Structure 1
């Protein structure tokens, strides 16, 4: 997929770089409140650094 940069008036194609975001998944449809509250607690205690993709993929969230 490519996007044309139209700001300079030239017909320049820019290749997009896709990044797959990783996140924990809830096993069913009723645990969403638990996940939201757990994330709120961890963000409050650890700060936004805890949201790094490396931490999320390891289950340290």
Structure 2
């Protein structure tokens, strides 16, 4: 998890969705997918309330 946090520059808005991904992926798989970090972290956010889309709004 330390490498994931480092890769995400310690940003809480990025770490939180990465932590959620750990429910279905191993830490190594999450780290590997962070090459395209915004797509990986925002995948599946289509049907969530706008207050949970802060990272997506920031990137857009």
TM-score normalised by the chain length of structure 2: 0.35
Higher RCO, 1 or 2 (CA under 8 Å, sep at least 6)?
Answer: 2
Give the TM-score taking structure 1 as reference length: 0.34
Q: Which has the higher strand share?
A: 1
Larger radius of gyration: 1
